[in-house]
């Protein structure tokens, strides 16, 4: 199934840049939802002019998540951290942020939501 517009949360990260490139090659318009759009301008080169655009989003804020999903038919959540630093906390991103994305995707009537976890589900995982 081809989608006309997809929002990729965390699309400027290690895995995200490859997902964005693949979606752009398939012809989709891609909104790349990121915390700092100025640091994610490189994603624009993954598609034709205007096809791939970074959009501001803080997944801990439901209003910015909903705004990032405007016009999307599908979304991919790749937001994740491997360790906590500064204000970045596992619970905020992996739990609350993922919940905000899922709730906003449902409210927007998206056809698909793909969630990729950045940490292992194993309680003995080295990511603590």
SS3 annotation, the chain: CCCCEEEEECCCCCCHHHHHHHHHHCCCEEEEEECCHHHHHHHHHHCCCCCEEEEECCCCCHHHHHHHCCCCCEEEECCCCCCCECCECHHHHHHHHHHHHHHHHHHHCCCEEEECCCCCCCCCCCCC
Q: Which residue has the higher pLDDT, 117 or 61?
A: 61
- Summarize the confidence of residues 3-20 as an average pLDDT: 94
Residue 71 placed within a domain: yes
The CATH number for 73's domain is 3.40.50.720
pLDDT at 56 over 80: yes
Residue 123 placed within a domain: no
Residue 75 placed within a domain: yes
The pTM assigned to this predicted structure is 0.90
Residue 55 placed within a domain: yes
Residue 127 placed within a domain: no
pLDDT at 52 over 70: yes
Residue 128 placed within a domain: no
């Amino acid at each position: 199934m081809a989608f006309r517009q997809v929002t990729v949360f965390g699309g400027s990260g290690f895995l995200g840049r490859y997902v964005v490139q693949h979606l752009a090659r398939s012809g989709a318009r891609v909104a790349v939802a990121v915390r700092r759009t100025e640091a994610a301008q490189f994603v624009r080169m993954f598609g034709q002019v205007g096809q791939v655009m970074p959009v501001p989003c803080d997944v801990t804020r439901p209003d910015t998540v909903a705004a990032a999903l405007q016009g999307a038919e599908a979304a991919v959540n790749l937001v994740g951290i491997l360790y906590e630093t500064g204000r970045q906390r596992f619970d905020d991103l992996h739990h609350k942020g993922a919940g905000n994305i899922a709730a906003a995707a449902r409210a927007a009537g998206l056809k698909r939501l793909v969630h990729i976890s950045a940490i292992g589900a194993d309680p003995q995982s080295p990511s603590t």
